[in-house]
Chain A
């Protein structure tokens, strides 16, 4: 049956059809929906792990137990899971194991733009790269066959435009492979030096065999062209841009496997054309390999290493540029993302801004506390870096910073890798103040459960990690909870904990305003007769408040009635219900 599916949903369908039995992932845009969609198949056990390293190790365990397993993550998540990645490359698998990594060229929702293909080369693992949803499904199934045939984890590389584009797929039936028996095999699975030394040559030999396989694999195909003026090597979404821009004019070597590369096939293809062109997003990965093979080729001299490509860039270089439409004169103000109206983070960030604190930030919706008018953030690096960074900052600066610097980290991010930083804070004792922004959900990636919410990925009730007890257990004695809608309470908590001569944790607790179960009082009323136009309410950066003709106006389609602005309105012009 023909269906429109997101690339991520199609990959999940591939998991289902391949008989995958076990999925463990941590959410991250643009990878999240693979695991969410997989969880909808009752035949697949699926879970959110606290982080990508745990997810990959759990998936390895399921493979060891003889079942087909999967873990999925975004590019930066693979950095977290890189430790197991490089060593399960040595052990190989028992049941087939597939690792999906989704890159975010263009940084639609990421802190950097790394090219994950380098991991496949560095860890010596095969990597498949689909170019639409149909391939996402087919390549996921193929990845399991390769994994078991070559005794290796197989990487499936997605990117934003494949993961988050719907295209047509035809679905098939699930196969139910028998679990492979688990047999103790220390030489294969205990990677201490003596054994690992014997495994490394196995890995090199496996890569040689995979290169041979790649030479004749149908997923590395040559599409003929009418002109041999040039030949284009490409893959993934870049392939689609090439076909859109050039049609069938030039021959195309379309790579479905981007590591290891089919060297003989590339050399033969290069011989058949007058000029070799490589079109790929981000780094010159294929291009560099072509040069290593001694080939002259055109690539990053013409195409950018930054941002995502489109058919427009390809057309401008290789065929005829598309003429742009009319550009309007005058400034069009940008519309950056903002904290939602009613967001519980707002009150807390207002408090930090008001007290002019230095704020080490982290990864989540609350990174938006960095933008005007709140501007209450100094750093954002990676998951967990706020807590550990604050410790180093305070140790280096001492009392000078301890009284005016905080870390902010979300509940899910804290479980991911904040808790280890907090352990360091307690163990090596910096008088740091860590604020956990507990909105009872993993917000930015679209409301995933996590170990603090009391529900699992399938939506069933489960163990709920108690943040207060956890913080106390690692050695923090000062742990307190505040309601971020209560500005006076936030201010008191922040001032008191900063003044304390020991590490402390403030849990700013209120569920995300977008959660379905959260009931809002409804929009507040702005009384133009009482409003003096002081703009105090504008300091919280709420998208529901604006000034018109010198008076505050509330957008009743957005306002939830959280009441943060009403606490700042001295003349009581904001309050009550919209009439």
Chain B
């Protein structure tokens, strides 16, 4: 099979790393060759962060370049817009509609673009936009945005809900398992 690519993008501190690890482990359990790239160090401090999850029979590069992502899973709306060039023809963007102002917007050196959802759809992008922050709060914590989005992403795969929930349980601290299961189901069903 051809190598598949998911890019997980967001803002440092949003939990993109945990999401990519969860996905990597699940795909390995499914018998695929897997590579997951991570981001550490300075770029983690509230900056734009990108991780790649690639799987197939044999995966070489740990990263995906422009035109290669089958799915871009974005934790923040502006970040979805930033990486559209990485989407392959026929690819899909799943994005949280939450907006987090970058520093140039906070200092009014730049403006947060309007109507990004419409602009992306207008450009012919297959876009699935959900309010993951509200769903995470509904599940019990604003920190569960990453698991809500994993739930949404899970619809793209043909793995069972049980398989996904097992992967979620292995990836989060025990005392937060129930809350994250709720978050996952809310994302998957939303």
Contact = CB atoms under 8 A, between A and B. Distances in A.
A368 B38 contact: no
A306 to B, nearest CB: 17
B72 to A, nearest CB: 9
Interface stretch (B86-94, B151-159, B161-169, B178-186): B86-94
Given A167-B34, A326-B125, A328-B119, A109 B43 contact: yes
A168 B33 CA distance: 7
Given A322-B66, A322-B67, A310 B61 contact: yes
Contacts of A546: 101, 105-106
B123 A165 contact: no
A459 interface: no
A168 B28 CA distance: 8
A254 to B, nearest CB: 12
A331 B109 CA distance: 12
Contacts of A240: 60-62
A325 B67 contact: yes
Given A240-B60, A240-B62, A336 B47 contact: yes
Interface string A166-207: 111000000000000000000000000000000000000000
A203 to B, nearest CB: 35
Interface stretch (A280-288, A385-393, A537-545): A537-545
A331 B110 contact: yes
Nearest to B120: A328
Contacts, number: 200
Q: A interface, how many residues as a size bin?
A: 35 or more
Contacts of B43: 108-109, 337
A423 interface: no
B36 A165 contact: yes
A237 B60 CA distance: 9
Contact of B85 (A325, A331, A372): A325
B33 A164 contact: no
A371 interface: yes
Nearest to A514: B13
Interface residues of B, number: 65
B25 to A, nearest CB: 6
A338 B103 contact: yes
B24 interface: yes
A571 to B, nearest CB: 20
Residue among B13, B60, B125 with the most chain A CB within 10 A? B60
A324 B67 contact: yes
Given A167-B35, A335-B11, A547 B108 contact: yes
A244 interface: yes
B87 to A, nearest CB: 4
A425 interface: no
Nearest to B119: A328
Contacts of B79: 335
Interface string A362-384: 00010110011100000000000
B47 A338 contact: yes
Contact of A325 (B24, B87, B107): B87
B48 interface: yes
B28 A2 contact: yes
A337 B46 contact: yes
A328 B37 CA distance: 25
Given A310-B61, A336-B103, A327 B38 contact: no
B97 interface: no
A545 B28 CA distance: 41
Interface in A325-378: 325-340, 365, 367-368, 371-373
A226 interface: no
Given A310-B65, A322-B68, A328 B39 contact: no
A68 to B, nearest CB: 27
Interface in A211-270: 237, 240-241, 243-244
Interface string B107-133: 111111100000110011100000001
Contacts of A567: none
Contacts of B123: 326, 328
A335 B47 contact: yes
A32 B123 CA distance: 42
A371 B82 contact: no
Given A325-B88, A330-B113, A312 B66 contact: yes
A109 B66 contact: no
Nearest to B47: A337
Interface in B5-51: 11-13, 21, 24-25, 28, 33-48
B62 to A, nearest CB: 4
Contacts of A330: 113, 119
Q: Nearest 9 CB-CB pairs, A to B?
A: A109-B41, A29-B41, A337-B47, A312-B65, A165-B62, A333-B110, A325-B87, A335-B102, A324-B66
14 contacts: A161-B62, A167-B62, A240-B60, A243-B60, A310-B65, A325-B69, A330-B119, A333-B112, A334-B110, A337-B42, A337-B46, A339-B45, A546-B105, A546-B106
Interface of B: 11-13, 21, 24-25, 28, 33-48, 59-63, 65-69, 78-79, 81-82, 84-89, 91, 100-113, 119-120, 123-125, 133, 142
Given A325-B84, A328-B123, 13 more contacts: A4-B24, A29-B42, A132-B35, A161-B37, A167-B36, A311-B61, A322-B65, A337-B44, A338-B45, A339-B46, A368-B45, A444-B42, A541-B106
Interface of A: 2-4, 6, 29-30, 32-33, 108-109, 132, 161-162, 164-168, 237, 240-241, 243-244, 310-312, 322-340, 365, 367-368, 371-373, 444-446, 538, 541, 543, 545-547, 555, 557
